[in-house]
Amino acid sequence: MPSRIRAAWTVAAAPAVAAALLPAPATAAGPDWSARPAAGGTAGPGAGDRPYFYLEGGPGSALQDRLSIVNRGKRPRTVQLRPADSTPDAASTARGSGAWISLAAKRVTVPARTRADVPFTLTVPAETPPGDHPGAIVVTGGGREIRVPVHLRVSGRTLAAISVEDVKVVKAGGGAAIHYELVNRGNTVLTPRLAVRADGLFGEVLRRDARTLPVELAPGRRARLTEKWPDAPALDSVDVTLTVTAAGGAQAAGSAGYTAVPWGVLAGAAALALGAVAGGGAWLLRWRRGRHRPEDGDAPAEPAREAREAREPAGSGSGART
């Protein structure tokens, strides 16, 4: 049987074979349908449920799995399915696996109180580098969208690397805010941990032990984050250091300086500076005027010379001939 005919038969048969009646729904508010990775043959939530797909294989391999769509409502539910990359931001250089996913069906109608399993195949291109290549299957219907993550790891040598960039400390309200950017420089998905330390003129003013950040960085992805510092010193010169670690030995640090001066001190210093400039200018003006004022009894030299030349005969002079 040709592969195209076999694929079409699978699309038609899979929902019928995998369909399972669910118990009558309890009277509770909430969405009447859901989408998740197929569990181990159970009709409802159980120990075999998975929060996401995890697939692993080498370049050129074809990996298969199933997506479960559960309709707990009293009417049939039609949903649309499409593959997608989980890193749609333009700043990411990660090569997502969304384009490598082939769904057995892109439109599925699930009868009332029934679960339907939709097979899919993820084909890893032969030239794919090792590491993590995240993707997703997006299911939409009834004004609702569910994004089911697909974590693909291509076998081979992996590299965990991260960098801390563009660290800035700025005044924010009565405290300060630390802005920074994390960049995944490796080929594995990272969940970073952050530790913060700040040292002032008289010692340590801030220490926060490492904690897990609520962000997942795909390879090549950037994340702009902010660390609040509500009790920052009001008058000090501080060096702030951020240390980031992640699984696989990834570690990096970034730092920035911050000088805190109260507005009252700035206003007083500005007033003193303006007063000094104004006083200095007045003194200089008086000094210059006193320097050019003639003493009493002295006649200006220029008018005296002009009067003397006017009294001399027109033809006289040391260079005249008789």
| Residue 84 and residue 200 share a domain | no
**What radius of gyration do the chain's Cα atoms show?**
40
Flag whether 171 is in a domain.
yes
Please compute the mean of the pLDDT values over residues 72-78 and round it to a whole number.
94
Residue 316 inside a domain? The answer is no
Instruction: Specify the pLDDT at position 96.
Output: 77
Predicted local distance difference test score (pLDDT) of residue 39: 83
Q: CB–CB of 258/169 below 8 Å? A: yes
Q: At which of 210, 238, 260 does a domain end?
A: 260
- Confidence (pLDDT) at 320: 44
Same domain for 253 and 122: no
The reply to whether 12 and 133 lie within a common domain is: yes
Are residues 74 and 174 located together in one domain of the fold?
A: no
Question: Domain check: are 179 and 117 in the same one?
Answer: no
| CA–CA dist 57, 152 (Å, integer) | 8
Residues 70 and 10 in one domain: yes
Question: Is residue 296 one of the residues assigned to a domain?
Answer: no
Question: Per-residue confidence at 275, pLDDT binned at 50, 70, 90?
Answer: low
> 3-class DSSP state for residue 134?
strand
Answer with the residue of higher pLDDT: 273 or 7.
273
User: Residue 49: its pLDDT value, please?
Assistant: 76
- Give the pLDDT mean for 235-250: 96
Last residue of a domain, one of 260, 292, 317: 260
Greatest distance between any 2 Cα atoms in the chain: 144
pTM summary value: 0.61
The residue out of 208, 239, 260 marking a domain boundary is: 260
pLDDT at 43: 45
67 phi and psi angles, rounded to 5 deg: -105, 130
**Do 25 and 94 fall into the same domain?**
yes
pLDDT > 70? residue 127: yes
Please give the distance of CA 125 from its chain centroid, rounded to a whole number. Answer: 30
For residue 304, being part of any structural domain is answered with no
Looking at the domain assignment, is residue 311 inside a domain?
no
Number of domains the chain is built from: 2
Same domain, 104 and 174: no
User: CA-to-CA distance for 5 and 123, rounded, in angstroms?
Assistant: 19
Task: Provide the mean pLDDT of the chain.
Answer: 79
The pLDDT > 90 percentage for the chain reads 57
What pLDDT shows up at residue 259?
Answer: 92
What is the reported pLDDT for 169? 96
Are residues 29 and 144 located together in one domain of the fold? yes
Please check the confidence at residue 8 and state whether its pLDDT lies above 50: no
Q: How far is CA 3 from the centre of its chain?
A: 44
Asked which of 14-18, 117-121, 141-145, 179-183 is least confident by mean pLDDT, the reply is 14-18
- Within 8 A by CB and 6+ apart from 124, the residues are 57, 58, 59, 60, 61, 62, 63, 97, 100, 152, 154
Are 179 and 94 contained in the same domain? no
Is 295 a member of any domain?
A: no
Expressed as residue numbers, the domain containing 207 is 162-260
Q: What is the pLDDT of residue 31?
A: 82
Tell me the CATH number at 231: 2.60.40.10
E-strand ranges in the chain read: 20-21, 33-37, 53-57, 62-71, 77-85, 101-103, 107-110, 114-123, 131-141, 144-154, 162-172, 175-184, 193-200, 203-212, 222-229, 236-246, 250-260
Q: Which two tokens stand for residue 157?
A: 């040598």
Contact between residue 29 and residue 126 where contact means Cβ atoms under 8 Å apart:
no
CA nearest 194: which of 178, 212, 168, 181?
Answer: 212
Residue 283 in domain: no
- Asked whether residue 307 is domain-assigned, the answer is no
Distance CA 270, CA 173 (A): 22
Both 35 and 102 in a single domain? yes
Q: Tell me the average pLDDT across 35-61.
A: 78
Same domain, 247 and 231: yes
Please compute the mean of the pLDDT values over residues 30-53 and round it to a whole number. 74
